[in-house]
């Protein structure tokens, strides 16, 4: 964690209390507020706008690869939920249930969707009959409800916004390609948009999605050394389709069962952005998810009409370059405005003041590292896209260096425990594959297996936890 001498006094420092720092940012940067219903939050415009930018980018990519948006109902009848036993066992304990409609008790309970697999299966069985109906590549943008007892804004709560993709394919290979293709897309979202280097891999049997054959994940490491599962992609095999009687006739008129996937990311990503990039002065937004990319701060504009005009012209020129820019002409002092937009994490501030203006210049200040640059006013708008790109790259490089320094190869159980309990990030260990080890780590130090990384190069022959012969490389960490 970095110490900052110019700390914003209204935010708890990361070092003092990381969890309070996080809550301070969520509230004070205007991202959310707590709602009247316990466990629920209000997504305020500035927070929602970050989600919108994530959504727009992903939506464009989904459409490019032939996916279509659909919308299925909010409620799942109990009889439908019960059709897939493993799945219902996984989700029922955290479901909200509707038992009254109008003023009459319902004859059948209705689950508020915690996820929509069974709804999709029920719908797919009516629309898929022949190989010509495949593949089906649907995506739904919606909210889901899981009755969590604790609220941590964007990370854990009763309701979150997400996308859930659901696809059916004629062959196993095609479904596996889809599963891993979407995982790669989430990895690109991290690399190209969020400036977050995700750790990717496969979940263990214990941690996989209820009803899936395999779950793949993108994990990120936060500034307190804890991991955050940031997106998952599931390969369902044919299990759900068999349960729900989804069949198709192949080109030889033979009846076959399709292969299925589902994949999703949620508003948790906002939490990831806050905790990967934020500092003691507030939020630090990567440029491509910043609702405001440039804040123009006019200095003494009330005394000098030329300053006001120059600021207005600059915002107009920036907008023409496709930059999300605005100027603050409120009567607050420039100092107040500097800390306000630092708090809100605006990537670039441009000061327009009488003295610099007389020399034909403006001053650019980067939020994430405070680097200042004086540029000619005439070329400022054209220079900004490159400056934002540089900021994005530098933020990614910094997050990558942090991530890489928070993966530790451990050879003993003592080393594993030390790494996960002292905020050092992931303990990378060789493991025998026995679920009892995962239970033990959870009980002893409250850490979980995050993933089996794709690179499975062994570095020891004994399981670090129980000493039996090791067969897998696995990452353990404490997680949100």
Q: Are 190 and 231 in contact (CB under 8 A)?
A: no
Give me 184's structure tokens. 């790669």
CA–CA gap between residue 27 and residue 46 (Å, rounded):
11
Q: Least Å distance between CB 409 and Zn ion?
A: 16
Q: Least Å distance between CB 430 and Zn ion?
A: 9
**Is the CB of 124 or the CB of 413 nearer to Zn ion?**
413
Q: Least Å distance between CB 434 and Zn ion?
A: 5
Q: Is the peptide bond before 329 cis (omega within 30 degrees of 0)?
A: no
CA–CA gap between residue 428 and residue 120 (Å, rounded):
37
**Is the CB of 138 or the CB of 437 nearer to Zn ion?**
437
| Chain positions contacting Zn ion, by CB under 5 A | 432, 434, 437, 463, 465-466, 468
- The contacts found for 2-11 with CB under 8 angstroms, 24 or more apart, are 2/279, 2/280, 3/280, 4/279, 4/280, 4/281, 6/281, 7/280, 7/281, 8/280, 8/281, 8/282, 8/339, 8/342, 8/343, 10/343, 11/280, 11/281, 11/282, 11/343
DSSP for residue 173: H
**Is the CB of 340 or the CB of 438 nearer to Zn ion?**
438
Phi, psi dihedrals of residue 51, rounded to the nearest 5°: -60, -40
Q: Least Å distance between CB 455 and Zn ion?
A: 20
- Complete DSSP assignment for 286-342: -GGG-S-SEEEEESSTTT-HHHHHHHHHHHHHHHHTT--EEE--SSS-HHHHHHHHH
Residues in the chain: 480
The region, left, alpha or beta by phi > 0 then psi within -120 to 50, assigned to residue 236 is alpha
Q: Least Å distance between CB 438 and Zn ion?
A: 9
CA–CA gap between residue 285 and residue 297 (Å, rounded):
18
**Is the CB of 233 or the CB of 448 nearer to Zn ion?**
448
Which residue's structure tokens are 């209000």?
42
The region, left, alpha or beta by phi > 0 then psi within -120 to 50, assigned to residue 17 is beta
Q: Least Å distance between CB 452 and Zn ion?
A: 14
**Is the CB of 396 or the CB of 431 nearer to Zn ion?**
431
**Is the CB of 272 or the CB of 470 nearer to Zn ion?**
470
Q: Least Å distance between CB 216 and Zn ion?
A: 23
Q: Least Å distance between CB 453 and Zn ion?
A: 18
**Is the CB of 238 or the CB of 471 nearer to Zn ion?**
471
Q: Least Å distance between CB 421 and Zn ion?
A: 19
**Is the CB of 176 or the CB of 432 nearer to Zn ion?**
432
Q: Least Å distance between CB 465 and Zn ion?
A: 5
Give me 463's structure tokens. 């399981």
What crossing angle do the helices spanning 268-277 and 45-64 adopt, rounded to 10°?
110
**Is the CB of 115 or the CB of 449 nearer to Zn ion?**
449
CA–CA gap between residue 203 and residue 208 (Å, rounded):
5
Among the listed residues 351, 237, 254, 252, the one whose alpha carbon sits nearest the alpha carbon of residue 294: 351
**Is the CB of 379 or the CB of 414 nearer to Zn ion?**
414
Q: Least Å distance between CB 271 and Zn ion?
A: 32
**Is the CB of 434 or the CB of 460 nearer to Zn ion?**
434
């Amino acid at each position: 964690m970095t110490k900052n001498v110019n700390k914003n006094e209204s935010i708890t420092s990361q070092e003092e209390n990381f969890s309070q720092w996080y809550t301070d940012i969520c509230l004070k940067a205007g991202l959310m507020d707590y709602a009247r219903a316990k466990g629920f939050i209000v997504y305020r415009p500035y927070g929602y706008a970050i989600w919108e930018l994530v959504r727009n980018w992903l939506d464009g990519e989904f459409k490019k690869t032939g996916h279509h948006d659909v919308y299925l109902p909010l409620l799942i009848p109990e009889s439908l939920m019960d059709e897939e036993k493993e799945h219902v066992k996984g989700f029922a304990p955290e479901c909200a249930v509707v038992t009254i409609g109008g003023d009459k008790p319902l004859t059948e309970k209705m689950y508020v969707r915690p996820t929509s697999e069974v709804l999709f299966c029920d719908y797919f069985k009516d629309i898929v009959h022949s190989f010509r109906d495949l593949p089906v590549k649907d995506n739904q943008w919606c909210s889901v409800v899981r009755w969590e007892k604790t609220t941590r804004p964007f990370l854990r709560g009763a309701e979150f916004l997400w996308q859930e993709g659901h696809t059916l394919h004629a062959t196993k290979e095609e479904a596996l390609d889809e599963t891993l293709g979407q995982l790669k897309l989430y990895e690109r979202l991290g690399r190209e948009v969020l400036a977050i280097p995700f750790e990717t891999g496969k979940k263990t049997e214990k941690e996989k999605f209820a009803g899936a054959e395999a779950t793949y994940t993108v994990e990120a490491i936060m500034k307190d050394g804890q991991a955050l599962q940031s997106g998952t992609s599931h390969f369902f095999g044919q299990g759900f389709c068999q349960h729900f009687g989804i069949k198709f006739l192949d080109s030889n008129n033979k009846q076959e069962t399709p292969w299925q996937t589902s994949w999703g990311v949620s508003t948790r990503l906002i939490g990831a952005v806050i905790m990967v990039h934020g500092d003691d002065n507030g939020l630090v937004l990567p440029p491509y998810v910043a609702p405001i990319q440039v804040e123009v701060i006019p200095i003494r504009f009330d005394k000098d009409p030329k300053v006001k005009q120059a600021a207005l012209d600059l915002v107009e020129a920036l907008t023409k370059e496709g930059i999300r820019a605005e100027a603050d002409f409120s009567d607050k002092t420039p100092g107040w405005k500097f800390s306000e937009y630092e708090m809100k994490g605006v990537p670039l501030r441009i000061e327009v003041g009488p003295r610099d203006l007389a020399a034909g210049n403006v001053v650019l200040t980067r939020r994430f590292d405070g680097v200042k640059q004086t540029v000619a006013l005439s070329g400022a708008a054209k220079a900004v896209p490159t400056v934002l790109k540089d900021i994005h790259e530098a933020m990614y490089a910094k997050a990558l260096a942090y991530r890489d320094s928070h993966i530790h190869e451990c050879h003993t159980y003592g080393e594993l425990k030390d790494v996960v309990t002292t905020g050092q990030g992931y303990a990378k260990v060789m493991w025998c594959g026995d679920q009892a080890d995962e239970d033990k780590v959870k009980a002893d130090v409250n850490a979980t297996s995050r993933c089996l990384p794709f690179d499975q190069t062994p570095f020891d022959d004994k399981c670090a936890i129980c000493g039996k012969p090791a067969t897998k490389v696995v990452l353990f960490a404490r997680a949100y």
